Amino acid sequence: MAPVTATATVLVVEDEETLLFTLAHNLKREGYTVLTASRGDDALKLAREKTPDLIVLDVMLPGVDGMQICRLLRRDTRVPIIMLTALGGEGDRVAGLDTGADDYVAKPFGMRELLARIRALLRRSGARVEPDLGPAAVHSGDIEVDRERREVRRRGTVLRLKPKEFELLLFFVQHPGRVFSREQILDEVWGYDFYGGPRTVDVHVRWLRQKIEDDPAEPVRLRTVRGSGYIFEG
């Protein structure tokens, strides 16, 4: 019998709605179970009731601030805590670490770096958890996206996609029937630390349509929603 692996649970506490959405999505994409809170008091309640494996905690929060949450949690738990803040001075970092945080990340930060820090802290804490990435292949109509092989087939034929085209298609296939703005797509696919503009999304959508649509000029799968963004309908 194959060993049973648990999914690491990460609690994200952030009052900036867009950043909270981006963090949660990226963590879910990595296979983690994600809990979210935008207020300090809600975060304390979730941390005590759900016992997450790691907490990503913003310092500036309504209700109870991140420093106080960290002090309160350290009375009865050693859960790894990464603090996020726009206050990047040495004194601020020292204060955060002295309250009991395990790591301290200044905004703006690179999403890949944050994810690497999360993995490192989970390993260091001895948590016997592994991300659950779900099925290796995702199907939508006659399209099959194989995440492990990073390969896409349409009607049995392998499509030659650039790396970012693959990630964009995987994102759309995993979220069918939802409208996403260009800004949301940039955050989700390119990452929070990407500084390019919305035009990047339009270009990659055009390239992708040339490979997955019967008539790229009249797309039926990956459609433009005027004034809003794009929707994938499989």
Q: Report all structural domains of the chain as residue ranges with CATH numbers, in order of start.
A: 9-125 (3.40.50.2300), 137-232 (1.10.10.10)
The tens digit of pLDDT for each residue in 80-132 reads 999 998 765 666 667 767 788 899 888 888 888 898 889 888 888 766 555 55
- What does the alpha-carbon distance between residue 70 and residue 68 come to, in Å, rounded to a whole number? 5
Mean of the per-residue pLDDT values of the chain: 85
List, in order, residues 6 or more apart from 146 with CB less than 8 Å away: 136, 137, 152, 153
3, pLDDT greater than 50: no
- What does the alpha-carbon distance between residue 22 and residue 119 come to, in Å, rounded to a whole number? 18
pLDDT of res. 50: 92
State the average pLDDT over residues 182-205: 80
List, in order, residues 6 or more apart from 125 with CB less than 8 Å away: 53, 54, 78, 79, 80
The token pair that represents 40 in the structure block: 């300090």
1, pLDDT greater than 50: no
Residue 76: pLDDT band by 50, 70, 90 thresholds? confident
55, pLDDT greater than 90: yes
5, pLDDT greater than 50: no
Strand partners, 104: 83
